[in-house]
A and B are shown apart, each in its own frame.
Chain A
């Protein structure tokens, strides 16, 4: 039987606080909505929270080994689900991302995040391959790419980014030097800087001096340079093959005023909402941006804007503080775990939460692109809430069992 006193109650409390703040914000965001259905989003979120707590309780009672031994099986099942959702999933706005069971929408991509963490953690925990061996990199990369390909097909660019972040985080956590990680990621930097030849040239000078300093060997250096060259050259081709809405998102990310009624509109209105909140905010239900529906997606992607408008700087900082606490606690736990698998799972969880946290809030503040990534614990959405609480459950569980190998 679990010794409840040994659980990390501070971490649980912080998470619960975030979830409750989320419910308050959802209620406020849709209080003046047109339909009953919209007005009662918060009630559904409460039910989801209760369900998430049940899942959480189950997770902390399960031994870590269960996830360890079944990691590959779960991952395989997820891949099957991802294929099935492409065929059977309900589509909305041209994207089929969910299985619909009555009112419940189950997104297999959410589950895939979790099972990829399991699979990669298991792989890194037991592999004897050296940290930077090519087989190690290729195998782990392949494990990540399969779900990513399936999800990009849905299409869901934002979510697929999360999978790469999980991969990079676990590469790093399994011992890879961040400098080396940077070299691996360098082609991506090429991709971005290649939008202008000058920025690309400057970047290339930096890259070459970096290689001279790090001395990763002639062969590796050559590979890095070739990849960088290749990415820099193919950027225009990729750009031209992108869907118009994707290009627009990238363009309006750099300049929201380009499309004040479309993609830029959301960012502009979100910035107005948060900025007009000031230090003290306009009070619950007092946000005119929220109430008058200037704020789009206000109960999901832009829930932080509601927080910023109605509760101001102090409310926003409180939420940042709670998240900081969770991340700090989780990283300490990851470092303490004796089980390499458990440690990897905790780090993977941190990666998922931190990345979504950064991208989502960064988007509402106007310096991150509009990717459609929700804010963990606060945004409306059942499966996302259950997943987030599952991740917390795993962290708590890893902490409780930190001495187990």
Chain B
């Protein structure tokens, strides 16, 4: 039995060894935590108590050319949950009751928006102020809940500015991953369309960072002094070239029709004075979470309110490009101002097809300017035949069609300028005839243009051939006080000589003032207007109604291009519309001049 006993000295030794082992175990544990893993735990203890709060800068305000506010910010409250501080069975049910969301949905949103367990994950945006008051007053029953005031974009719905304003929305995960957008976080607002997108970097400013210290219960103890707060830099304000009065006139004028677009440019600089797409949508709904039903309604609307017609609407130009046909003929030496072709008898036979003129009665024998005045198709057919498909295509290209204008807005379409190469591909080599040139000569066939391109072309006609790149931002005002004025940039020159331009301008004048002009309704005794009607046939329904107006004709300051979809003759629908916009412009100009004269008189 002695085997199971142990001497006193042995027991003492073993006891001391046991103590030594215990101490060693604890020392190893301590050294591991405090020496080896120290930095890791130090970081953890910092992130435990320091909450990094991004400070969203004020997004730049957008003004019209006269300094009227166009896009502004309004306060909006977002409620968030700090996952690490949430109390199970308390936080979410209580919050759910107040913001009328079920716990499951809140949990889903937290999971989606979570950055770290210690940072607030947004749950619902734009909650009403009285809910904020409840959260504030009874914060005891909402552990781990915080709310942030942020500014939300406010767009003027009634002015149809969506065509150029675009809208902002939360940056998508795809966007975050694809580009190196280190300045954006989940939940950051980013410009999604229009100038909000194009000028996003200027408008958004630089995000700031605040460090606050929090206790275990989520109580905010105040700013953390260890790290310096980085102030947010407000975004730059933009002053646009847009004139809100013209914009409003345009919206009111087009309101009675289904769909269409208006673009007004200053030919002397390329400034966009008005731009609208109709029907428009409410850009405000995109700033917050869009209800699915509303989204479906907008995106499935047969009038396509989301289509940005001035930039993305592709239409056959119709008779509006007859000036291009005539210009090309003059430049190519195929005609001169006195040249006449076979008389128009309401149409002409080409091959086995009869090409009709829009005026069945026939225009008779016409010179170039009168062919423009009366928009005679037969004259253009004969000229188009002489020019041929490729020469026509070259002139279309030189006049800015088939390529983007370079306006400072995103997603502009180039349109379509077909040539023989295109036709070979489309129909097969030798499978098509010069009959296509007949169509192109009257702006029909495959050619497709945007309203902006057409307006740009007329700017060139009005401005002695010089085309300025259309732009929408006039001035950038940085938060530092620095102001950058955007000066006009010459884009290209029309391929027409001065003499040709003069003739074409005469054509524009005759359309309004001529005895048999197609837009005589715009004639008035106060100022000279020129322009050209267009009636574009399209396979989808009734003809589109075009009109491009230029005023005052002697020294043009404004070019207005309007299209009304499926509305019939240009002279009946689009021309009066353009006339209203031009009239608003001219009235304002007169008033301005009168005021200046009165002020001058007072001085004397």
Contacts and interface: CB of A to CB of B under 8 A. Distances in A.
B3 interface: yes
B1 A273 contact: no
Given A289-B45, A328-B19, A332-B12, A316 B30 contact: yes
A362 interface: yes
Contacts of B5: 131, 175-177
B25 A358 contact: yes
A128 to B, nearest CB: 14
Nearest to A294: B216
Interface stretch (B31-39, B179-187, B317-325, B364-372): B31-39
A319 to B, nearest CB: 10
Contacts of A289: 45, 48-49
Contacts of B33: 271, 274-275, 308, 365-366
Interface in A309-338: 309, 312-313, 316-317, 320, 323-324, 327-328, 331-332, 334-335
Interface string B16-38: 10110011011101110111011
B26 A361 contact: yes
Most A CB contacts (10 A, CB to CB) among B8, B33, B40 go to B33
A274 to B, nearest CB: 5
A97 B112 CA distance: 46
A354 B22 contact: yes
B14 interface: yes
A130 interface: yes
B48 A294 contact: yes
Interface in B541-579: none
A178 B6 contact: yes
A323 B24 CA distance: 13
A324 B215 contact: no
Contact of A275 (B1, B3, B40): B40
Contact of B19 (A295, A324, A335): A324
A361 B41 CA distance: 18
A312 to B, nearest CB: 6
Contacts of B27: 317, 320
Interface string A231-268: 00000000000000000000000000000010000000
Interface size for chain A: under 10, 10 to 19, 20 to 34, or 35 or more residues? 35 or more
A180 interface: yes
B11 interface: yes
A277 interface: yes
Nearest to A183: B4
B26 A327 contact: no
B319 to A, nearest CB: 74
B42 interface: yes
B26 A365 contact: yes
Contact of B30 (A131, A274, A331): A274
Contact of B12 (A214, A316, A335, A367): A335
B221 A292 contact: yes
A172 B19 contact: no
B425 interface: no
Contacts of A175: 5-6, 11
Contact of B6 (A130, A177, A272): A177
Most A CB contacts (10 A, CB to CB) among B23, B40, B214 go to B23
B213 interface: yes
A324 to B, nearest CB: 5
Contacts of A173: 11, 15
B454 to A, nearest CB: 64
B26 A362 contact: yes
B516 interface: no
Contact of B45 (A131, A288, A331, A334): A288
A276 interface: yes
A54 B213 CA distance: 44
Contacts of B213: 288, 292
Nearest to A132: B4
A110 interface: no
B16 A328 contact: yes
A354 B40 contact: no
A316 B34 contact: yes
B23 A320 contact: yes
Contacts of A358: 22, 25-26
B4 A293 contact: no
A357 interface: yes
Interface size for chain B: under 10, 10 to 19, 20 to 34, or 35 or more residues? 35 or more
B217 interface: yes
Interface in A273-298: 273-279, 288-289, 292-295
A256 B462 CA distance: 78
A294 B215 CA distance: 7
A350 interface: yes
Most B CB contacts (10 A, CB to CB) among A275, A334, A357, A362 go to A275
Contacts of B45: 272-273, 275-276, 288-289, 294, 309
B26 A279 contact: no
A267 B284 CA distance: 49
A332 to B, nearest CB: 7
A365 B11 contact: no
A354 B1 contact: no
Contact of A293 (B9, B22, B217): B217
B44 interface: yes
Nearest to B6: A177
B35 A313 contact: yes
A328 B22 CA distance: 12
Contacts of A308: 30, 33-34
Contacts of A275: 33-34, 37-38, 40-42, 44-45
Contacts of B31: 313
Contacts of A323: 23
Contacts of B41: 271-272, 274-276
A362 B38 CA distance: 18
Contacts of A177: 3-6
Nearest to B30: A316
Given A130-B1, A332-B12, A313 B34 contact: yes
B88 interface: yes
A327 B3 contact: no
A313 B37 CA distance: 13
Most A CB contacts (10 A, CB to CB) among B14, B22, B46 go to B22
B30 A278 contact: no
Contact of B49 (A216, A279, A294): A294
A277 B88 CA distance: 31
B34 A278 contact: yes
A333 B175 CA distance: 74
B216 A292 contact: yes
A89 B326 CA distance: 109
Nearest to A175: B5
Contacts of B23: 320, 323-324
Contacts of B6: 175-178
A332 B12 CA distance: 7
A350 B15 contact: yes
Given A275-B44, A320-B30, 11 more contacts: A175-B6, A275-B34, A276-B44, A276-B45, A292-B49, A292-B214, A292-B216, A313-B34, A316-B34, A328-B19, A362-B25
A-B residue pairs, 9 tightest by C-beta: A275-B41, A276-B45, A365-B29, A335-B12, A275-B33, A294-B216, A293-B216, A292-B215, A276-B42
28 contacts: A131-B1, A132-B4, A172-B14, A177-B5, A178-B14, A261-B88, A269-B216, A272-B48, A274-B41, A275-B37, A276-B38, A277-B34, A278-B34, A278-B42, A288-B49, A289-B45, A292-B49, A294-B215, A308-B33, A308-B34, A316-B34, A320-B30, A328-B19, A334-B12, A354-B19, A358-B25, A362-B29, A365-B26
